[in-house]
Amino acid sequence: MFERLLFEAPDFFTYYNVIFLLEAAARTLGMTLIGCTVGFIAGLLIAVLRQSVNPWTLPLRVIAIAYVETFRRIPFLVIIFIVLYAIQPLMENASLLTIATIAICLVSTAFLSEIVRAGLESVPKQQIEGARTLNFGAARTLWYVVLPQAWRVILPPAIAFAVMFIKDTSLASHIGVVELTFSGKMFVNRGFSPLLGFGAVLVLYFLLSYPLSRLGTYLEKRLDPSRRS
Amino acid sequence: MNYTFQFGEVMAELPYLLGGALVTLQIVFFTFFLGAVLGLMGALGKVYGPTPLRKAISAYVIFITNTPALVQIFVLYYALPDAGILLSSMAAVLIGLTLNSTAYLTEIIRAGVVSVRQAEMDAAIGLNMTRLQILRYVMLPHIAKTIFAPLSNFFIWLMLGSSIAALFGVEELTGRAINVSSVNLRTIETFSVVAVIYIGLTLIASMSLALLGRVAFRVKARVF
Amino acid sequence: MTHLDVRDLACSYGSEKILKGVTLSAEKGEVVSLIGPSGSGKSTLLRALVGLTLPSAGEVRVAGKAVDYSSRKSVRELRSQLAIVFQQYNLFQNMTVMRNVTIAPITIKKRPKAEVEALAAELLARVGMEAKHDAYPEELSGGQQQRVAIARALALQPEILLLDEVTSALDPERVNEVLDTIRRLTDEGITMLLVSHEMSFVREVSTRVVMMDDGKVVETGTPSQIFDSPTHERTRDFVGMILKH
């Protein structure tokens, strides 16, 4: 097995193949970045909405809860299938990458909204009452008081989620998005040994994921709210 | 576009799909409990073992948790035959998922073990407890409380993650959904029904775990 | 005209009635102290007055004008006249002392930054915190935080100040620095409603003392009436028990 690997290596690590792999890695990273950014913004909106006590927002809150609970309880693979077949009739020219990215955003919104919500709830009630008695409205309380205190609770699990998500995007290979996992399959189909093709892909995933997970562990220790600065 | 939803053909296949859910549960229970046993050993090794063992366990956990399970199983399924080891798709999936649950559960259980405070251990030693009594009365209750929530989350994660077995042709819930939809060509309907089954399974799991936590460990877990 | 007028104010928490119809008033510049056993509803009364707990019945008038607690506009207007200092200080943990004091006047009342900062510096000097402008709340002792919280409330230039057990969370040696700060304020004509367990302090600064028990006002009188010759049995028991300690 390993002799074959050494034998094939010179043919495998050609300029074009390496560029191809790096482009695939960039697509994996891009999907993760877009997913986490969109998911964070939408998740923040949902989390803030769920904190509201205004009776007018009740229907929206029910929808938000249903959305979050649904999308956290369906396998990502199943969501990709549903989005694939639901989007194609709506947007005929949607690329597979677009479809996978939409599926990613739907899922990341659900998970990140829960992470943000936990962060918002970690801010003591007294801080919010203090703001209210100073005549802060809801938006100002959120902006000046809650978010500056919540981000240290939000950031570590949000990064841990991003680490999970880099790996989850590998499922997009199944519908034909040319990301890292798909590039591995292509090399194997072209006759390279599976250990070499998938091994190279594993190494690249590791290089994307490990620095981020180290950052997450570091921030978790650094930002622990029980011992500040 | 005028798409009419038709669930009739899917509902006819419901017993077949539910049978797939049973296979999903088998995969989840097998990989969870095997992973928990190995993870407990891994955690104890990582906390109390000699340095080389600790380093080896760390390296294993870091490697597994920073690479996708899907690609790991690709290696098991497609690369091992080169070394003369031929795995069935089910075996590859079970081994691959167990490798993952072992890594994640090692980390979760380790966090529980180190959360036992030295002061409590000192008190136990002061009370002349034996090592077994210390483990039983001081450490385990504490560990159970600390790890219960992450353990529950991981169980749900595994339930959803086990769907990748479908990509190797294993006929669990998602695999059977692919089979059904390739015959009736009602993909959206089929996968919607399967999504509902997954929601049902994870809800039952969450509620059972919350109940178990409350009764056995006095942990107040919330389902939502 | 009565500055603060509370009539039959009632409050419930779930099915439990915390306030069962409280009536009290304060003239302009008066210092009214609320005393009574814990759980008698003193803190709930203050929270209800600033609109943190919604009253279920009764009426509150500030300078003759009725407050509508269900109207955001009315509550906002109320809070521009009335400030509260909490037992747990509730300083914003993410802001420096200076920012804590200036944020509401600058961002809410839209007053010029330089003017507000000058006022804040003056107020912080008055509470003895002039050396700590750039400190964060967690770097301060409880007593120091509470003095900043008082400066923060004063920066809004309130006409009425509510003080909710402002010394209860403090170490004994820190109590006096906060009481001294309040003592100086009583000379400035701000109407004050305070909840306190420091009986000698209450006796010294109050113009009137209100004894509460079980969500109701038991007795109201001057400090000497309440402490020296209480007419109600509950007041006698309470005062007797407190003074023994």
Half-sphere exposure of A218 (CA within 13 A, CB side): 6
> Residue A228 pLDDT > 70, yes or no?
no
Residue B161 forms contact with A (CB below 8 Å): yes
- Kindly report, residue by residue over B9-30, the tens digit of the pLDDT: 778 788 889 999 999 999 999 9
User: Binning pLDDT at 50, 70 and 90, where does residue A173 land?
Assistant: very high
> Residue A67 pLDDT > 70, yes or no?
yes
Q: How many domains does one find in chain C?
A: 1
> Residue A229 pLDDT > 50, yes or no?
no
The interface residues of chain A toward chain B in range 159-218, judged by CB-CB distance below 8 A, are 163, 166-168, 170-171, 173-174, 180-181, 184-185, 188, 193-195, 198-199, 201-202, 205-206, 209-210, 213
Residue C71 CA to residue C79 CA, distance in Å, equals 12
Here the CATH number for the domain that contains residue A170 is 1.10.3720.10
Mutation target among A135, A149, A223 for the C interface, most CBs of C within 10 A: A135
Contacts of A216 (CB under 8 A, 6+ apart): A156, A159, A160, A163
Show the domain range for A187. Answer: 2-222
Residue B156 forms contact with A (CB below 8 Å): yes
> Residue A18 pLDDT > 50, yes or no?
yes
Mutation target among A52, A53, A120, A133 for the C interface, most CBs of C within 10 A: A133
Check: CB of residue C101 under 8 Å from CB of residue C109.
no
List domains and CATH numbers for chain B.
Answer: 8-217 (1.10.3720.10)
Residue A64 CA to residue A53 CA, distance in Å, equals 14
Q: Pick A135's closest partner by Cβ from C52, C76, C136.
A: C76
Q: Pick B174's closest partner by Cβ from A77, A201, A213.
A: A77
User: Binning pLDDT at 50, 70 and 90, where does residue B223 land?
Assistant: low
Name the minimum distance, in Å, from the CA of A143 to any CA of chain B: 26
- For A73, left (φ over 0), alpha (ψ -120 to 50), or beta? alpha
Name the minimum distance, in Å, from the CA of C69 to any CA of chain A: 13
User: Binning pLDDT at 50, 70 and 90, where does residue B1 land?
Assistant: low
Per DSSP, the residues of B151-172 read HHHHHHHHHHHGGGGGGGT--S
Name the minimum distance, in Å, from the CA of B215 to any CA of chain A: 24
Residue A228 lies in a domain: no
Note the pLDDT of residue B2: 61
Q: End-to-end distance of chain A based on CA atoms, in angstroms?
A: 52
User: Binning pLDDT at 50, 70 and 90, where does residue A77 land?
Assistant: very high
Show the domain range for C136. Answer: 4-244
Which residues of chain C make contact with A224, given a CB cutoff of 8 A?
none
CB pair distance less than 8 Å for C76 and A134: no
User: Binning pLDDT at 50, 70 and 90, where does residue B170 land?
Assistant: very high
Chains A and C touch (3+ CB pairs under 8 A): yes
* Per-10-residue mean pLDDT, chain C, length 245: 89 86 91 90 92 90 90 90 90 94 92 93 90 92 91 92 87 82 84 90 90 92 90 88 72
Half-sphere exposure of B59 (CA within 13 A, CB side): 6
Q: Which residue shows structure tokens 């590039």?
A: A183
Give the number of other CB atoms < 10 A from CB of residue A4: 13
| Percentage of chain C exceeding pLDDT 90 | 53
User: Binning pLDDT at 50, 70 and 90, where does residue B220 land?
Assistant: low
Average pLDDT over residues A4-25: 85
- Kindly report, residue by residue over B47-95, the tens digit of the pLDDT: 988 999 999 999 999 999 999 999 999 999 998 888 888 889 999 999 9
Which residues of chain A make contact with C94, given a CB cutoff of 8 A?
145, 148-149
Residue A202 lies in a domain: yes
Q: Pick A184's closest partner by Cβ from B74, B167, B177.
A: B74
Residue A227 lies in a domain: no
CB pair distance less than 8 Å for B195 and A86: no
Among the listed residues C147, C131, C148, the one whose alpha carbon sits nearest the alpha carbon of residue C97: C148
> Residue A35 pLDDT > 60, yes or no?
yes
Between B159 and A56, where is the model more confident?
B159
Check: CB of residue A76 under 8 Å from CB of residue B160.
yes
Q: Phi first, then psi: what are they for B3, rounded to 5°?
A: -90, 130
Here the CATH number for the domain that contains residue C178 is 3.40.50.300
User: Binning pLDDT at 50, 70 and 90, where does residue A4 land?
Assistant: confident
| Percentage of chain A exceeding pLDDT 70 | 97
Per DSSP, the residues of chain B read -------HHHHHTHHHHHHHHHHHHHHHHHHHHHHHHHHHHHHHHHHHS-HHHHHHHHHHHHHHHTS-HHHHHHIIIIIGGGGT----HHHHHHHHHHHHHHHHHHHHHHHHHHTS-HHHHHHHHHTT--HHHIIIIIIHHHHHHHHHHHHHHHHHHHHHHGGGGGGGT--SHHHHHHHHHHHH--HHHHHHHHHHHHHHHHHHHHHHHHHHHHHHH-------
The whole-chain average pLDDT of chain A stands at 90
> Residue A148 pLDDT > 90, yes or no?
yes
Q: How many domains does one find in chain A?
A: 1
Residue B111 forms contact with A (CB below 8 Å): no
- Kindly report, residue by residue over B107-162, the tens digit of the pLDDT: 999 998 888 877 777 887 888 888 788 877 777 888 888 888 899 999 999 999 99
